[in-house]
Amino acid sequence: MSDAESPTKPTLTPAAQTEDFEPVEVFPETTEMDLRPGSDNCYKCTACDVSCPVAEVDDKFPGPKFQGPEQWRLKRKEDTSVDSSIMSCSNCMRCDDACPSGVPLSQMHNTARGEYVETEMDKLSREYIRNRILSNYGTLAWFGSKVPRLTNAVMGNSLVQQINEKVLGITSERDFPEFATQTFREWWEERGGAATSKERAQEARAERGGPQVRSEDKRVAYFHGCYSNYNTPEVGKAMVRVFESFGYEVVVPKQRCSGTPMFANGMLDDARRAAGINVENFSGLLNEGYDVIASCTSCSMSLRQEYPELFDIDGIEDVSEHTYEALEYLRIHEDLEGAIAEASVSDQAFAYHAPCHGRNQGLDRQAVELFRELDGVTIEDVGDSCSGISGTYGWKSEKYDVSMQIGADMFDHMEHAEGDVGMTECPTCSMQMAHGSGYEIRHPLQLLEEALV
């Protein structure tokens, strides 16, 4: 979107056009992360605007250049408020990837969104209450999973969905994700926790033979996130079994939400609290040789990039440096390609979607590259478009249509792909894929488990 098309772009006052113009800090309390040097790297090429899936379908959204460097550079003392359009950014972070000049766009957006929510949003408004509820899905899920069958029945009731839409502004177009009857953590405890994992890993190392490795070299701490714990424990189980089969001892520290939905809704205080607990619980393990593994690409993104960008917490850089996505880690440390080349599964075809947050970590091709060598599997990338749901974004009534318009390309490619089972690493992309296509959606770790364990 060009400058001229930015509907809410501020116009420079005459004073601003004189030599007296002095940019001011928009967010004075964030002195530790003054982003103006980053914004000065912007040379207005508009590559970020062209890459933005929201700007592509929503003419009212001014785009990432305006949300980022322009707001940071051009605000005047008498106009320090953040534009409300920041709430229409879905935090897909595609603009980060697109910028040839390294402007920290998503960091600017997250900071601006937090500032907007803090200073401009009515805390009793329906939007704030709805966004706070969606951001804290992990807390809701904790309660819901205590009585999963009842919760599923209530949340699946069409009357409840209509009430949710009318009262809270949560779309009734989508089916609420079902809670598993046993959470991943319940399964993990029942199975014997870290002690059992250590035994299984030792057995696998003995079976594999070859040079003896010290157990300190084969230790991972699993960040399962909310969705694998409460909704799809089969993904967490697959992660544990696959890593153990390569001889890794798995631990599952206590954890909170990664913060992804909180960043996207400007709930930075909630995110800071969650990050503090996660960093404390994982950083202590790093000295014992553990690396942090996430099965969700938004969780790994959060721990890797958003935590150190936004918070100053002891140990945060170490956690960031030692965090990996599950397949990525195995590809780096094991001969995963070799193992896959020798394996086979029953014939199946997949339509694979790379999540935006996976792209941002350079992981967009890994599942396709890996599984096309697996005997019995056909896998096709359904293109580089955004799925459109972006976590909580597509759950908001007023964003539902935009979310589906963004996802239209992906739905179309899925329909034309040979496979009629979807695959992705992101839980909410998985919801959108299922919603738009009706396909069953699997996680790459589940296929890896089928092939190797």
Task: Give the residues lining the site for ligand SF4 (CB under 6 A).
Answer: 42-48, 51-52, 54, 64-65, 67-69, 89-95, 98-99, 101, 103, 105-106, 109
- Other residues' Cβ atoms within 10 Å of the Cβ of residue 11: 6
Residues in the chain: 453
Q: 417 near 383, Cβ under 8 Å?
A: no
- Give the nearer residue to ligand SF4 in terms of CB position, either 64 or 419: 64
The minimum distance between CB 97 and ligand SF4, in angstroms, equals 9
Q: Give me the helices (H) in 302-353, please.
A: 307-310, 316-321, 326-333, 336-342
- Give the nearer residue to ligand SF4 in terms of CB position, either 54 or 226: 54
> What's the sign of the alpha-carbon dihedral 162, 164, 165, 167?
positive
- Give the nearer residue to ligand SF4 in terms of CB position, either 102 or 338: 102
Q: 103 near 69, Cβ under 8 Å?
A: yes
| CA distances in angstroms from 180 to 13, 68, 157, 296, 438, listed in the order given | 57, 40, 17, 18, 20
Q: 351 near 381, Cβ under 8 Å?
A: no
The minimum distance between CB 102 and ligand SF4, in angstroms, equals 8
- Give the nearer residue to ligand SF4 in terms of CB position, either 109 or 130: 109
The minimum distance between CB 183 and ligand SF4, in angstroms, equals 31
- Other residues' Cβ atoms within 10 Å of the Cβ of residue 415: 14
Q: Reduced to 3 states, what is the DSSP secondary structure of residue 58?
A: coil
- Give the nearer residue to ligand SF4 in terms of CB position, either 51 or 151: 51
Residue 381, phi then psi, degrees to nearest 5: -75, 130
- Give the nearer residue to ligand SF4 in terms of CB position, either 46 or 378: 46
Report d(CA 216, CA 222) in Å as an integer: 15
| Exposure of 413 in the CB half-sphere (CA atoms within 13 A) | 21
Q: In what order do the strands lie in the sheet with 421-423?
A: 375-381, 344-352, 421-423, 440-442
The minimum distance between CB 391 and ligand SF4, in angstroms, equals 11
Kindly give, in sequence order, each residue whose CB lies less than 8 Å from that of residue 211, ignoring residues fewer than 6 positions away.
none
Buried (b) or exposed (e) across 275-288, using 16+ Cβ within 10 A? bbebbebbbebbee
The minimum distance between CB 99 and ligand SF4, in angstroms, equals 3
The minimum distance between CB 299 and ligand SF4, in angstroms, equals 17
DSSP 289: T
The minimum distance between CB 39 and ligand SF4, in angstroms, equals 8
The minimum distance between CB 334 and ligand SF4, in angstroms, equals 33
DSSP 12: P
- Give the nearer residue to ligand SF4 in terms of CB position, either 35 or 48: 48
The minimum distance between CB 166 and ligand SF4, in angstroms, equals 27
- Give the nearer residue to ligand SF4 in terms of CB position, either 42 or 340: 42
- Give the nearer residue to ligand SF4 in terms of CB position, either 46 or 139: 46
